[in-house]
Amino acid sequence: MRDREPCAYLMVNRQFGAIYTGVTSNLLGRVMQHRDGTFDGFTERYGIKLLARYEVGETMGAAIAREKPIKTWRREWKISLLEERNPGWNDLAVGLGLPSLPSLP
């Protein structure tokens, strides 16, 4: 993965079953921000730190166009999307070069 690549992504907390949908041009940097608790609100409240799915877009506009409808989806649809490629809700950031999180819920 290149440093700058437009992506729509889903982060989760398995313990709460919380799912967050976002878009970024720097996936690893954004995942590190989630892990460090940089964001207030939903992601901080639910401890969302695990990258469960991402899709690379050709342009930032394409990544945003993918993210927007997913944000409106029902929870069950988001779970189906995640489990289509990642049934165990594993941390995909590890495969991209980030270290495993200790005692990840």
pLDDT digits (tens, 9 = 90+) for 45-86: 999 999 999 999 999 999 999 999 999 999 999 999 999 999
Question: Model-level pTM?
Answer: 0.91
Q: Taking all residues of the chain, what is their mean pLDDT, rounded to a whole number?
A: 92
What is the average pLDDT across 14-24? 93
Between β-strands 7-13 and 18-24, what pairing exists: parallel, antiparallel or unpaired? antiparallel
CATH architecture of 7-96: 3-Layer(aba) Sandwich (3.40)
| Domain ranges across the chain | 7-96
Share of the chain above pLDDT 70, in %: 94
Give the pLDDT confidence score for residue 104 in this predicted structure.
Answer: 52
- Quote helix, strand, coil % in the chain, to nearest 5: 40, 20, 40
Token pair in block for residue 13: 């907390």
Share of the chain above pLDDT 90, in %: 80
Give the pLDDT confidence score for residue 40 in this predicted structure.
Answer: 85
